[in-house]
Amino acid sequence: IAKEVAKLLEMKAQLGEEGKPKFVLKTPKGTRDYSPKQMAIRERVFSAIITCFKRHGAEVIDTPVFELKETLTGKYGEDSKLIYDLKDQGGELLSLRYDLTVPFARYLAMNKITNIKRYHIAKVYRRDNPAMTRGRYREFYQCDFDIAGQFDPMIPDAECLKIVHEILSELQLGDFLIKVNDRRILDGMFAVCGVPDSKFRTICSSVDKLDKMLWEDVRSEMVAEKELSPETADRIGEYVRLHGGLELIEQLLQDPRLSQNKLAKEGLGDMKLLFEYLTLFGITGKVRRCWGQEEPRAPQLRMLTGFCVPQICFDLSLARGLDYYTGVIFEAVLVQQENDHVEEPVGSVGSVAGGGRYDGLVGMFDPKGRKVPCVGVSIGIERIFSIMEQKVEASAEKIRTTETQVLVASAQKKLLEERLKLISELWDAGIKAEMLYKKNPKLLNQLQYCEDTGVPLVAIVGEQELKDGVVKLRVVATREEVDVRRENLVEEIKTRTSHS
């Protein structure tokens, strides 16, 4: 009894003064539910992405949503503070995965896999400041494709960029730009500009902010906060405003300072190879842009002449925050959406994909430090979802959220048993069928249900039809009705719905 009383008191405590529940009815901060309509759009996006990953011969794996806390330690630099930890309830200390790359590296090391091409689509977790209208969530999907193994240089790297290009083209999100750089070029550049070794990473994160901040502000941060000499900062400034294609790479290979640096030279050599492969893939060309009446907002883009812009661009300002990259890095941004009237700060065009080479990460997990070179890409689909949602909204396209082919209906009362028998026959024959869960539904309500949900056919049982051994099949769109012999009903439904 004491237990029950305690339980009642606990229940009472949960209620407010007027008997209302005290708790707030919501999802956690930075998360959301997906409604059936949103799921329909999500499945379309996933389908396009998975089709592409499979086209490139990828296998698929899955890993747990949480990892041992120590598995994630020391992999994310300054972003580590954004990791969700689980409460210590006895046993292991756990954290929610922050990305799919570290679990992938852990998976490779644990299973001693030295060679795999896999994709992984799953949710990851970051205690970031959410900006949900712009598609930034604390729980969000990543669609990762990675190639692990010791191969000849830049062939897998080029394939990753080809994949980004294919997916963004396929999804028809408007114009996009894939920026490419290399950690070795960045490090070499820092070295020749006079940045002390110990400051490479922190200066790298300053450079990483160039997509959101003006150079002047980034420079101040470097000089004032990070104590770089103004001359060093200015030398960096000269480099990071550069972007272009093969000709820029050639030019930098001749650069008197950069060409003296081993790392930079390696990086530039590989970058040249990469652009040659991308040219063979046919994706280094320029595309015609339709600005409409507006001028591009991102200053970088304003600098590009005329109406032709490249879709892939070597960009020395691209840094990317994560610690584990060792070679090529890249990021894809959408440049100006049609109908995108939201005022956003200069340059905050949305990043929708990113990736790079991380040759040291697997070795961090291997007991003997054996390395497995890896390169991969991660498609961030939340922003893609919101764009697709807006598009669907604007197009007034009616999205069906079920695939039901036929509603089993009755014309008179007392036919529930007959409906149950018929629907069961249809289900067993693989027909997607529904019925209203009422004993005696009105025919009008049953037809209305089809109108509302887009069910194309109605199979109507009535007393006369039962006597005649037929079912009345009604086409919702045309209101045409035909009597179909019961034994032919399944075939008839299949034929009539095969086009959809």
Buried b (16+ CB within 10 A) or exposed e, 182-220: bbbbbbbbbbbbebeeebeebbbbbbbebbebebeebbe
CB-based contact 231:225 (threshold 8 Å): no
Q: Which of residues 190-209 bind its own copies (CB under 8 A)?
A: 198, 202
Q: Which of residues 273-312 bind its own copies (CB under 8 A)?
A: 277, 280-282
- The residue length of the chain stands at 500
Nearer to its own copies, 298 or 364 (CB): 364
- Tokens coding 350: 């949305």
Per the annotation, binding residues for L-histidine are 99-101, 126, 142, 146, 320, 324-325
CA angle 399, 403, 404 (to 5 degrees): 120
**Looking at 44, 241, 432, 442, which residue binds its own copies (CB under 8 A)?**
432
CB-based contact 187:323 (threshold 8 Å): no
**Interacting span for its own copies (CB under 8 A) from 156-164, 172-180, 311-319, 324-332:** 156-164
**Shortest Å, Cβ 83 to its own copies:** 9
Q: Which of residues 18-37 bind its own copies (CB under 8 A)?
A: 19-21, 23-29, 31-36
**Interacting span for its own copies (CB under 8 A) from 178-186, 428-436, 456-464, 473-481:** 428-436
**Looking at 44, 46, 63, 496, which residue binds its own copies (CB under 8 A)?**
63
**Looking at 229, 424, 445, 464, which residue binds its own copies (CB under 8 A)?**
424
Q: Which of residues 77-96 bind its own copies (CB under 8 A)?
A: 84-89, 91-92, 94, 96
**Shortest Å, Cβ 441 to its own copies:** 9
Alpha helices (H) in 254-405, listed in sequence order: 262-280, 299-302, 361-365, 381-395
Which amino acid appears at position 159 of this protein?
E
**Shortest Å, Cβ 182 to its own copies:** 18
**Looking at 213, 346, 416, 443, which residue binds its own copies (CB under 8 A)?**
416
CB-based contact 177:333 (threshold 8 Å): yes
CB-based contact 184:327 (threshold 8 Å): yes
CB-based contact 361:105 (threshold 8 Å): yes
Q: Which of residues 202-241 bind its own copies (CB under 8 A)?
A: 202
**Interacting span for its own copies (CB under 8 A) from 4-12, 204-212, 352-360, 472-480:** 4-12
Which amino acid appears at position 101 of this protein?
T
**Looking at 6, 9, 47, 60, which residue binds its own copies (CB under 8 A)?**
60
Q: Which of residues 88-147 bind its own copies (CB under 8 A)?
A: 88-89, 91-92, 94, 96, 106-107, 109-111, 116-118, 123, 125, 127, 139, 147
**Interacting span for its own copies (CB under 8 A) from 65-73, 205-213, 298-306, 477-485:** 65-73
Which amino acid appears at position 391 of this protein?
K
Nearest-CA neighbor of 461 among 480, 489, 430, 437?
489
Q: Which of residues 433-452 bind its own copies (CB under 8 A)?
A: 433-434, 437-439
Nearest-CA neighbor of 188 among 273, 270, 259?
259
